[in-house]
Amino acid sequence: MYRPEVKILDVTIRDGGLMNNWDFPKSMVKEVFYGLAEAGVDYVELGYRADKRVFSTDEFGPWRFCNEEDLRDVAYECDTKIAVMCDVGRTNLDDFVPKSESIISMVRVACYVPEVDEGLKIAQYMKDLGYEVSLNLMAVSTVEEGLINEALRKIAQSRVDLVYIVDSFGYYYSEHIRYLTEKYIHALPGKAIGIHTHNNRQLAFSNSVEALLAGAQFVDCSLYGMGRAAGNCTTELILSFMDNPKYDLRPVLDLIERYFVRLKEDLKWGYELPYLVTGVLNQHPRTALAYIKEQGQGSKRSLRDFYETHIRQIKSK
Amino acid sequence: MYRPEVKILDVTIRDGGLMNNWDFPKSMVKEVFYGLAEAGVDYVELGYRADKRVFSTDEFGPWRFCNEEDLRDVAYECDTKIAVMCDVGRTNLDDFVPKSESIISMVRVACYVPEVDEGLKIAQYMKDLGYEVSLNLMAVSTVEEGLINEALRKIAQSRVDLVYIVDSFGYYYSEHIRYLTEKYIHALPGKAIGIHTHNNRQLAFSNSVEALLAGAQFVDCSLYGMGRAAGNCTTELILSFMDNPKYDLRPVLDLIERYFVRLKEDLKWGYELPYLVTGVLNQHPRTALAYIKEQGQGSKRSLRDFYETHIRQIKSK
């Protein structure tokens, strides 16, 4: 028994790109796309389509920008659809062509709750161009519930196809995830709900499963969990969970063995204590990333001090 | 709101010892005990008390045997109680003195379901000596339910204080854990239920939380997850979950920073794909450990082959 409408969306290149400035070689991204297609993964997010007036192409690799020609070099139109993400305030609408001229199927608009009006403007624009559109409402764990409800009311009136619960800081337990999934489903009739988790507390996979069991239809994941800081729910775990026989774990084992075990040794995403601390305290991981960088540069600042500093800052608010 | 009867049992030295033949320096074990006591951890399992006629003291470190004098060198009687484990077939009952002469509070008897009669004999002997006693029924994920029920009926009639659900292979999802916890509670009136998990599918912590929410009273964990193969539920995550103000995360951050980050780099427990495969397939991790060892020795055998070999073996059964 499985729900055929459930879709896997792999975010490796997009979210993993946060760890290497989206500087993946084309040959590798091509193998990733082909391998994920062979595995039956439904959507592959190949990066951001970011505004080149905001980010320099000298500083960032091609998957920060996702030009059509770059996408066509690594992917092809098939049952596995291509997604890109764009951020409020970092998107040039003129960079997007009508869906009929693009290899992209889905545009995912990421915004914080106070930016929801702006996010919806971009989303409606993308709908007008003919794309499937998701709205990824980030960092909701830090937002007062009334404001979330208000944002959901606005989204309900939009033509967005899909709305994501995003546990940006890896803070939520399964009970929160179930509550939010049921809330989003109830508030957004006719729209699909997705789940995007981070692994600060080793709950990314279990929370993703919880959301699916509660009725979510899209699940984000990345190969070997590649993503910023503690990383994401892993694609291999999600594939191993799915009963739908269209999915095949083996091409994903090949990809991880070939690329991601070594990449993880170099770039070091995944569970580490500073990320546990920011997750537990419902904070952005930027201070943890900075702490780890300082340790690498010889800092002797203790974890206890890192933790206590956060506690003090929270108490003084 | 918290349940004051919930107890944390740290298994770092016992389960982690599987990774280094229990060869931890005394100074370190002492710091571990003192740190865990400062953190408010309720029980610390300092190793196995294994039969010296079965295991050589030349081959294994002191925490394979847990002599009273070694335990007294590293620990003291306080609110944090000392546990040791013994296995059916590997235990010399004459090694145990009455509780009044021992620093040990709890003896944990590990057995497989078909060995339950033998396990209960040891357990009753330990009760007669005056110890708190747990029975840890291993690898239940591979046992037909009728046999589990029969074992539980026998245990219900014993004087065992505490019975553990042990997900030896890291196979279970939260729904299994909830089902088993409720089953054990129902079948074992008057006894406490414990949960012991492994992290093959990154579910060790979430499944431990699930068991606690379903009514389990004891939770096993280890510092930074140290344990065989994919390792265990981590002590720091469990402490971060607890609302009881007696617990303090900070001494555990100190211990991990001082010892376990480096130990993990050397001994390499934790989530890896071969352990994911054995977890998904409900198999003992020994083939995964052997595969990883072979890779370290230059083997080029692919993960895909490792996975497919297991699938074939399961199908041919």
Domains of chain B: 7-267 (3.20.20.70), 273-315 (no CATH)
Residue in B closest to A232 by C-alpha: B202
Contact A302 B254 (CB under 8 A): yes
Nearest CA in chain A to B280: A240
At residue A317, the pLDDT reads 79
Per-residue confidence band for A1, with pLDDT thresholds at 50, 70 and 90? confident
Instruction: Give the integer Cα–Cα distance in Å for A286 and A168.
Output: 12
The candidate with the shortest Cα–Cα distance to B264, out of B9, B12, B8, is B12
Q: What φ, ψ does residue B223 adopt, rounded to 5°?
A: -65, 125
Mutation site for B-interface testing, chosen from A250, A258, A269 by largest number of B Cβ within 10 Å: A250
Which residues on A lie below 8 Å from B248 (Cβ)? none
Exposed/middle/buried for residue A308 (C-beta within 10 Å: 0-12, 13-18, 19+) = middle
Band (B54; pLDDT cuts 50, 70, 90): very high
Residue B108 backbone class (left: φ over 0; alpha: ψ -120 to 50; beta: rest): beta
User: Residue A42, by phi and psi: left (phi above 0), alpha (psi -120 to 50) or beta?
Assistant: alpha
Contact B234 A206 (CB under 8 A): no
Q: What is the mean pLDDT of residues A209-213?
A: 98
Handedness of CA B227, B230, B235, B238 (dihedral sign): negative
Task: Name the amino acid, one letter, at A159.
Answer: R
pLDDT, chain A, mean? 97
Using the structure block, give the residue that is written with the tokens 């009760």: B127
* CB < 8 Å to B174, chain A: 174, 206, 209-210
CA distance A50 to A47: 9
Contacts A236 to B, Cβ<8 Å: 273, 276
Q: Say how far apart CA B206 and CA B223 lie, in whole Å.
A: 16
> Which of B173, B237, B304 lies closest to A202 in CB terms?
B237
The sign of the dihedral angle between the CA atoms of A291, A295, A298, A299 is positive
The C-alpha of A255 sits at a distance from chain B's nearest C-alpha, in angstroms, of 10
Chain A residues lying within 8 Å of B253, measured CB to CB:
273, 277, 302-304, 307
Which one-letter DSSP state was computed for residue A96?
P
Strand duo B106-112 + B132-138: pairing: parallel
Summarised one tens digit per residue, pLDDT across range B106-116 is 999 999 999 99
Dist CA A229 CA A199 (whole Å) = 9
Span A23-45, average pLDDT: 98
Average pLDDT of chain B to the nearest whole number: 97
**Residues whose CB is less than 8 angstroms from the CB of residue A146 and which lie 6 or more positions away in sequence, other chains included:** none
When pLDDT is cut at 50, 70 and 90, the band that residue A87 belongs to is very high
Strands (E) in A37-77, as ranges, are: 43-48
Q: Are A23 and A60 in contact (CB under 8 A)?
A: yes
For residue A213, the chain B residues in CB contact (below 8 A) are 175
Instruction: Tell me the chain A residues in contact with residue B276 when contact means C-beta distances shorter than 8 Å.
Output: 236-237, 240
Spatial neighbors of A55 by CB under 8 A, at least 6 apart, are A64, A65, A90
**What confidence score (pLDDT) does residue A105 get?**
98
Q: What is the pLDDT of residues B14-28, one digit of tens each?
A: 999 999 999 999 999
Question: pLDDT category, A242, cuts 50, 70, 90?
Answer: very high
Per-residue confidence (pLDDT) for residue A227, from 0 to 100: 98
Q: Name the band, by pLDDT with cuts 50, 70 and 90, for residue B83.
A: very high
Q: CA A127 → CA A48, A74, A160, A217, B50, distances in Å?
A: 18, 25, 7, 20, 68
User: Band of the pLDDT at A17, cuts 50, 70, 90?
Assistant: very high
CA B63 to CA B82: how far, in whole Å?
13
Tell me the count of A-B CB pairs closer than 8 A.
91
| C-beta of residue B307 within 8 angstroms of C-beta of residue A253 | yes
Average the pLDDT over A256-268 and give the result.
97
B105: distance to nearest CA of chain A, Å?
A: 31
Report the candidate in A18, A8, A10 with the shortest Cα–Cα distance to residue A224.
A10
Amino acid of residue B89:
G
Other C-beta atoms closer than 10 Å to the C-beta of A69 total 8
With an 8 Å Cβ cutoff, is B174 touching chain A?
A: yes
Distances (CA, A) of B150 to A145, B155, B157, B160, B187: 49, 9, 11, 16, 10
Q: Which of B 8-37 lie inside 8 A of A, CB atoms?
A: none
Handedness of CA B292, B298, B299, B300 (dihedral sign): positive
Sort out which chain A residues have CB atoms less than 8 A from B1's CB and list them.
none
Using a CB–CB cutoff of 8 Å, tell me whether A207 touches chain B.
yes
Amino acid occupying residue A208: S
The set of residues, in sequence order, having a beta carbon less than 8 Å from that of B74 and lying 6+ positions away, is: B26, B29, B30, B33, B46
User: Any residues with CB less than 8 A from the CB of A95 and at least 6 apart, and which?
Assistant: A49, A51, A52
CB-CB: which of A204, A253, A276 is closest to B237?
A276
Q: Does A234 touch chain B (CB under 8 A)?
A: yes
Q: For residue B170, name the pLDDT band (cuts at 50, 70, 90).
A: very high
Q: What is the per-residue pLDDT for B166?
A: 98
Query: SS3 for chain B, per residue?
Result: CCCCCCEEEECHHHHHHHHCCCCCCHHHHHHHHHHHHHHCCCEEEEEECCCCCCCCCCCCCHHHCCCHHHHHHHCCCCCCEEEEEEECCCCCHHHCCCHHHCCCCEEEEEEEHHHHHHHHHHHHHHHHHCCEEEEEEECHHHCCHHHHHHHHHHHHCCCCCEEEEECCCCCCCHHHHHHHHHHHHHHCCCCEEEEECECCCCCHHHHHHHHHHCCCCEEEEEHHHCCCCCCECEHHHHHHHCCCCCCCCHHHHHHHHHHHHHHHHHHCCCCCHHHHHHHHCCCCCHHHHHHHHHHHCCCCCCHHHHHHHHHHHHHCC
Residue A233 tokens read as: 């729910």
Q: Which of A164, A165, A226, A238 is nearest to A199 (CA)?
A: A226
List Cα–Cα distances, A293 to A10, A20, A61, A297, B266, in angstroms: 28, 14, 22, 6, 21
pLDDT band at B311 (very low <50, low <70, confident <90, very high): very high
Q: Is A254 on the interface with B (CB under 8 A)?
A: yes
What distance in Å separates residue A291's CA from the closest CA in chain B? 13
Contact B308 A250 (CB under 8 A): yes
Q: How far apart are CA B194 and CA B162, in angstroms?
A: 7
Q: Where do runs of H (alpha helix) occur along chain A?
A: 12-16, 26-39, 68-74, 116-129, 145-156, 174-187, 204-213, 235-241, 250-255, 261-267, 273-280, 286-296, 303-315
| Residue of chain A whose Cα is closest to the Cα of B249 | A304
Cβ-nearest to B257 among A213, A303, A308: A303
pLDDT of residue A129: 98
In chain A, what residues touch B242 (CB-CB under 8 Å)? none
Neighboring chain A residues of B261 at a CB cutoff of 8 Å: 273
Name the residue facing A273 among B203, B204, B253 (closest C-beta). B253
At B212 the pLDDT is 98
Check CB contact under 8 Å for A210 and B249.
no
pLDDT band of residue B1 (cuts 50, 70, 90) is confident
Average of pLDDT values for A29-56? 98
Q: Which residues of A touch B302 (CB under 8 A)?
A: 253-254, 257
